[in-house]
Amino acid sequence: MPSEELTAQIGQLKQLLQTSRHALAFTGAGISTLSGIRDFRGRNGVYLQPWRGHSVEEILSLRCFMAQPELFYAWAKEFIYRLEEFHPSVVHTALAELERQGILKGIYTQNIDMLHQRAGSRRVKEVHGSASMHHCLRCGRESSYAEIAPRVMADEVPHCVCGGLVKPDIVFYGENLNEELLEEAFAEMQRTDLLIVAGSSLTVHPAADLPLEAVRYGAKLVIVNDQPTALDRYAALRFRDLAEVFSQL
């Protein structure tokens, strides 16, 4: 895109944000790639690369977790529990700033990396959960990220005082999304008048159905993603370069 055209379109995006009543963001793995967390579904992402002979889809499946929790925790030691080594990207930072200004009303994210909260965003809905909280599969006792992370980093498979296996509140493959959260999400998508999709190719359902719901109820859709998405034809504005757009907001 020629730079004047891009500048004009970014101007339009700013205008849309300023005049919106209830702007929301919907984010995916692409925005965390900028932070050094590899995009699960990107071309060079770990998603496509077996890790110790297992696909990430397998490692993140409930069946595999129950059978071999040590496999998940060894993988997660590398990708989830060393959060201090990853820093929010310009996208996380810009979205946090828009919320601080009262323009952005909330973020729905497919990411499990907690980087929005680290960037200072307050109203973050994690549709695939995260490791910010854990539960014992036997007694239901809760443990925080801060309690569990050092144990995982010490190569421990965390167990509860009752002896039960501890599982992060991530929605694994084979598990359903949190119904209450999903219901709330669909209701809010019907109310939003501006939805910015950032770093998601909108292929993982049912989470990816949320932007379509917003479109159905008349919201303006803005998509920022380096790959084509399923909803490109509905976008009022369509950008490719995340860093370029969000560094100018």
Binding residues (CB under 5 A) for Zn ion: these are 136, 138-139, 141, 160, 162, 164
Residue 93 DSSP SS3: helix
Catalogue the E-assigned strands of 15-91: 23-27
Residue among 87 and 135 whose Cβ is closer to Zn ion? 135
At which residue do the structure tokens 């569990």 appear?
148
Nearest C-alpha neighbor of 56 from the set 74, 36, 32: 74
Residue among 73 and 79 whose Cβ is closer to Zn ion? 73
Find the angle CA(108)-CA(115)-CA(134) to the nearest 5 degrees: 85
- Provide the minimum distance between the beta carbon of 179 and Zn ion in the complex, in angstroms, as a whole number: 24
Which residue among 54, 128, 134, 135 is the active-site one? 128
Q: How many CA atoms lie within 13 A of 220 on its CB side?
A: 15
Nearest C-alpha neighbor of 199 from the set 75, 89, 78, 64: 89
Residue among 137 and 182 whose Cβ is closer to Zn ion? 137
Which CA distances in Å does 146 have to 29, 111, 131, 161?
Answer: 23, 19, 10, 17
Residue 193 DSSP SS3: coil
Residue among 135 and 240 whose Cβ is closer to Zn ion? 135
128 is catalytic: yes
Q: Are strands 142-144 and 129-136 parallel, antiparallel or unpaired?
A: antiparallel
- Provide the minimum distance between the beta carbon of 72 and Zn ion in the complex, in angstroms, as a whole number: 18
- Provide the minimum distance between the beta carbon of 146 and Zn ion in the complex, in angstroms, as a whole number: 18
Tokens of 149: 């992370």
Residue among 67 and 139 whose Cβ is closer to Zn ion? 139
- Provide the minimum distance between the beta carbon of 204 and Zn ion in the complex, in angstroms, as a whole number: 31
Residue 185 DSSP SS3: helix
- Provide the minimum distance between the beta carbon of 66 and Zn ion in the complex, in angstroms, as a whole number: 15
Contacts of 46-49 with C-beta under 8 Å, sequence gap 24+, read 46/79
At which residue do the structure tokens 């109820």 appear?
217
User: Catalytic positions, please?
Assistant: 128
